[in-house]
Amino acid sequence: MTPEMVVDFAKQAITLTIMVGMPMLGLGMLVGLSVSIFQATTSIQEMTLTFVPKILAVLFGLLYFSPWMLNKIVTFTQDIFSNIPVYIR
C-alpha cells in the first residue's frame, strides 16, 4: 500500500464523514439560530428553550436523511472490501 493510497483513503473517509454529518449539523445550526433570534427579540432567556428544538430537529433530520446516509456508508464499506486485494499489494 503506497502512501498515496493511504492519503486517498483518508481523504475519502473524511469526506464521507463530513457529508454524512452536515445535514444534522446544518439543521441544528439553523434551529439554534432561529431560537436565538426569537429569544433576542422577545427577551426570553431560558436556557432549555434552545436544547429541545435542536434535539427534535436533529432527530427528525436523522429520520429523514438516514436512508441516504446509510446508502453512502454501505457503498463506502463495500468499496473498501472489494478493494482489499489492491490494498494488500
Q: What is the pLDDT of residues 21-33, one digit of tens each?
A: 999 999 999 999 9
Burial of 57 (0-12, 13-18, 19+ CB in 10 A): buried
The total of structural domains in the chain comes to: 1
Answer whether residue 80 is part of any domain. Answer: no
Lookup result for grid cell 483518508 = 10
The angle at the Cα of 31, spanning 25 to 20, to the nearest 5 degrees, equals 20
Element (H, E) at 72: helix 48-82
Is residue 77 predicted with pLDDT exceeding 80?
yes
Answer whether residue 32 is part of any domain. Answer: yes
Answer whether residue 26 is part of any domain. Answer: yes
Band of pLDDT at residue 3, cut at 50, 70 and 90: confident
Answer whether residue 12 is part of any domain. Answer: yes
Is residue 16 predicted with pLDDT exceeding 90?
yes
**Residue 18's domain spans which residues?**
3-75
pTM for the full model? 0.78
Lookup result for grid cell 439560530 = 33
Predicted local distance difference test score (pLDDT) of residue 89: 74
From the CB of residue 27, how many other CB atoms can be counted at a distance below 10 Å?
20
